[in-house]
Amino acid sequence: MSLRSTVLSSLALVVAFGAGITVVKVAERRGDFSEPASAAGPTEQARTNTTGAQQGVLPDLSNIAERGIKGSVNISSTAQVRVRDPFFEMMYGRSLVEPQTSLGSGVIVSEDGSILTNSHVVQDKNAAIKVTLPDNRELPATVVGIDPYTDLALLKVAATGLQPLPWGDSSKLRVAEWVLAIGNPFEFNQTVTLGIVSSTSRHDSEGNDFIQTDAAINPGNSGGALVTSRGELVGINTMIISQTGNYAGIGLAIPSNLARRVMDELRTRGQVTRGSIGNLILLTISPEQARQNNLGTQGGVFVRNMSRSDSAYLDGRGILPRDIIVKYNQTTITEQGQLQRLIAESKIGSTATIEVIRNGQTRTFQIPVTQQVYPR
């Protein structure tokens, strides 16, 4: 079993990586894989449960869990993957292609068969996907859209009368609030685990936000639901931080507010468009680091490298390697994720005003915003 990896930019997590900790996408695979399912709808019982928790009594979440299971699915995706085999390539003059199956979870988001999951569970648009519903029906699924930037994908099955999970407002989550993770870890379907919100805001290097939870999440939980004690869907479980690749108390979920926006765009357009100024390699730099490297006295985002084809380069008249980006459209820049988020949210075809420090001097450029293109 192998697990996809990613890197978080939070300082605490970077320190953890130095101690040998890895971040893994929690898709379980036969040849590789993924998991979770979901949660339930708000009721008077849910409100009573929450009150009990506030009084220091563990809440009874059995009703919430039962309804959450009814809004969750298991997903199997088989894709044809190119495998590097020099001997095979020498003998036959072509790459070796083998099937790779990913097992994960998904969340029912409409009565007529729309299902939200992780893009790394789906693998690619040409994968053969099967969805197992709560009543054990197994149906083929089509891919409505995939967004690798946020690791989300929207599927559709031919079914009616399903029980979607109600959306919650992830911006209102509080640290130590009770949450349930529902999914298919290690192929144990309809598994429910309980924990709390450990942090409401973690970030990766591209500016994506995550909810941190200590609810047990393992390989196979990818794409499953994170649900509050009120039965509201507040996150899509996507990865863990662990020395072993299994549960170690730190799981990450995509906030529901972000997931819902991406889902709506996938449903209406089949893809999510984002702004870009090129594939620059960036690094957050502090004022002290800038001084130590003779780059001036102001911190921001250091441009480690870039391509001449990047729109920010402007044929050598724009941003250059070793520049420190300190302002984007009047917003002061302090870290890489913040800058990446602002660029992504910029209107395609617009012009961004970017201020940099170069050799200790301030310079300002008008940079065209193009559409982000993701590798296939």
* Active site residue ranges: 120, 151, 222
CB 266 within 8 A of CB 152: yes
CA separation for the pair 41, 34 (Å, rounded): 25
Q: What is the pLDDT along the chain (376 residues), one digit of tens a residue?
A: 323 333 343 333 332 222 334 566 766 655 433 333 333 344 444 444 544 445 556 789 999 999 999 999 999 999 998 888 888 778 888 888 899 999 999 999 999 999 999 999 999 999 999 999 999 999 999 999 999 999 999 999 999 999 999 999 999 999 999 999 999 999 999 999 999 999 998 988 777 889 999 999 999 999 999 999 999 999 999 999 999 989 999 999 999 999 999 999 999 999 999 999 999 999 999 999 999 999 989 999 999 999 999 999 999 999 999 999 999 999 999 999 899 989 999 999 999 999 999 999 999 999 999 998 875 5
Q: Are 59 and 50 in contact (CB under 8 A)?
A: yes
As beta bridge partners, residue 76 has 103, 130
- Decide: 358 and 261 in contact? Cβ < 8 Å: no
CA–CA gap between residue 184 and residue 99 (Å, rounded) = 21
Name 356's Cβ contacts closer than 8 Å, sequence gap at least 6: 303, 319, 323, 324, 325, 326, 362, 363, 364, 365
Kindly list the structural domains of the chain, giving each domain's residue range(s) and its CATH number in brackets, ordered by start.
11-269 (2.40.10.120), 275-371 (2.30.42.10)
pTM: 0.79
For residue 138, the SS3 value is strand
